[in-house]
Structure 1
Amino acid sequence: MGGHVTGAVTALASELPEWVTLLRAPNPGPMTLDGTNTWLLRAAPGEPALVVDPGPADEGHLAAITAQGPVGLVLITHGHLDHTESAARLRELLGGVPVRAADPAHSIGGPPLAAAGIDGYGLRIRVVPTPGHTADSVCFLVEHDDRQVVLTGDTILGRGTTVVAHPDGHLGDYLASLELLSAYRGIPALPGHGPALADCGAAADFYLTHRRARLDQVRAALDAGARTAAEVVATVYADVDRSLWWAAEWSVRAQLEYLGRESGGDDAGLDQP
């Protein structure tokens, strides 16, 4: 789920490895940008592909995925419906291939993902736990033919910033995950929404700077007398279309929790530090 920053967070990837294919779902919107990115990874012609994030329940999109068969495995970066809604149907269309996610609730026909990674289908895949956007968020570091990519789900987007939706999202975890991803210098990032980026580490640095600046703005709003999450949104996110303030309030609640302050309902005040 994207935020309101509309520009790319770092340079776009000029080219991707030949073993990477993008299929974009037809579900564009304020929170999904151009639509959900479904990534297919195939080590060589004829080898079973890996599908990452099958996307929404759209039969046309599923037909486009199945046309890329054979497929050996479906991987999930996190459990939001715009990434997982079609997983069971895709598994059916593909003859029962396993679907694997960090959360057992989204794993079908296979064990939940473990940090040890996955070897097979001619690809080396490391599962990188990156909680924060959601508790179950993971990224995938994939290597083949001396080239690497990082599939970042919604932890890093190709355009804009992601929503950390309290209470499932946790800002402290998210900042730690960005610190981890900042080490992946010069490796292309394949996000869940938006275009591919040239440098995962540079994108993580941008996100860290943006989040820290937002925290400073929230602190200033509280010091100026904001008493509810909604009042913080009205001050800090005044430049955001009001139709997206509901999503901004999710992030504000995560920011308040991170700052050690609690917010109640619209009529409730904030605890003072």
Structure 2
Amino acid sequence: MCGEWRLLKYVEEAEFGPDAGVNTVLIISSLETKLEALQEPCKWMSNECALGLLSEAKLCSTRIGPYAYIGLLKPELSSKWTVAPALPSQEYPPGITLVPMKSRTLQPFRTTNLVVVLATNAAGGSTCSDCAASGDALLIDPGCCSQVHGKLADLVNSLPKKLLVLVTHHHHDHVDGLSVVQRCNPDAVLLTHKNTMSRIGKGNWSIGYTTVDGGENICIGDQQLQVIFAPGHTDGHMGVLHVNTNALIVGDHCVGQGSATLDNRAGGNMKDYFQTTYKFLDMSPHVLIPMHGRINLWPKHMLCGYLRHRRAREASILQSIENGAQTLFDIVSKTYADVGRKLWIPASYNVRLHVDHLNSEHKLPKDFSLQMFSGSCDEFVSSL
């Protein structure tokens, strides 16, 4: 049935983490016997058709995975820009490049995904008329640590000068490289929520910025993106929908492995987190792009899993309270008994927000003292 097999390509995965990279060998062959039909969900299609499905994605349409794109389709596209070999990266879907860069992030991850979006049309220039901002390139979350600022500078210097920069939120591992971008390209335009900007120090970005609240369109040549207000992780957290490919860049709302930690010190809110998750589900994206870890090709499965996890965690917190837990340490030690203590501090942030959410829904027992619980939060670290 198949002719001679030959090596097509060897692909080394960039350092998305938290586990070791998955390197891939792509092998190709030709069919010597024609197959009249394939059982669902398989079907034959030309490269041209597959590229069309990737670059002009429609809701519920056939999806083309990264192996087909990297192995067969990407070589057919000419690109004016490539990432330097010193920065391993992954382009998928077309027009979106992920560059995982070392950052001051929380374990188990070591890197933050810098997202680079460039026009795929040769002529460049915006093709939409209702843009809040337009440019020839877009960077999302330049959050690498100082050890790799030189590599970030090389990347920024290789990009077109009409540059937009968007940060999903203010945490160090998402903004630590802003000063490098500003130094290399003083004309770059920063886009972010006002709550995020209020927490970004002038040492990171000292010039003006453009406020986004959600719903704004961004045009990068023929690439169209929409800003999505996505509170929960923080009160200024944003996502970005890449309209052409229906790919959703989710910031820290989701991570490539495990569950997300919400920041109770910066407006993190469990009710908002649930609502944002439902919003993302309603959008039916083809792929989720987190800022830590690998992309996710099954968005609804991942988002529903997050909802189940958070509901189950909240139920276990309520059960521990009903069984007599009164302090933050009591609740964390019982709810996270199977988790190493080094993770109890970030876990405590979520516990505090779950308690707030339970209180807002009037589910806490009447004998549970919120005053005692709040007082115990300041003593939590010393109790470990």
Distance 2:217 2:377 in 1: 49
1:195–1:126 Cα change, 3 Å: same
Greater CA radius of gyration, 1 or 2? 2
1:32–1:137 Cα change, 3 Å: farther
Q: After superposition, what is the alpha-carbon deviation per residue over 1:147-193, rounded to whole angstroms, capped at 9, x for unaligned?
A: 22111000111111111122421101101111111123351111010
Q: Out of 349, 356, 375, which is 1:265 matched to?
A: 375
Q: Out of 144, 163, 172, which is 2:261 matched to?
A: 163
Runs of 4+ more than 6 Å apart: none
1:94 and 2:193 are equivalent in the alignment: no
Using structure 2 for the length normalisation, give the TM-score: 0.62
The residue that corresponds to 2:354 in the other structure is 255
Distance 1:216 1:96 in 2: 50
Q: CA deviation at 1:27?
A: 2.6
Distance 1:152 1:215 in 2: 23
**Partner secondary structure for residue 330 of structure 2:** helix
Structure ranking higher on relative contact order (CA contacts 8 Å, 6+ apart)? 1
Q: After superposition, what is the alpha-carbon deviation per residue over 1:245-273, rounded to whole angstroms, capped at 9, x for unaligned?
A: 1111111101111111632233899xxxx
Q: CA deviation at 1:25?
A: 1.4
Unaligned runs of at least 5 residues, structure 1 = 7-12
Equivalence map 1:221-232=2 (5 Å): 221-232=320-331
1:24 and 2:24 are equivalent in the alignment: no
The residue that corresponds to 2:40 in the other structure is none
Instruction: Give the aligned length.
Output: 257
CA contact (8 A) 1:185 1:202 kept: no
CA contact (8 A) 1:139 1:153 kept: yes
1:119 and 2:195 are equivalent in the alignment: no
Letter in 1 for 2:144: P
1:80 and 2:171 are equivalent in the alignment: yes
Equivalence map 1:6-21=2 (5 Å): 14=66, 16-21=92-97
Q: CA deviation at 1:64?
A: 4.8
Unaligned runs of at least 5 residues, structure 2 = 1-17, 20-64, 68-91, 125-135, 365-369, 380-384
Q: CA deviation at 1:116?
A: 3.0
Distance 1:46 1:82 in 2: 34
Percent of residue pairs bearing the same amino acid type: 25
**Partner secondary structure for residue 24 of structure 1:** strand
CA contact (8 A) 2:102 2:145 kept: no
Letter in 2 for 1:266: S
1:166–1:51 Cα change, 3 Å: same
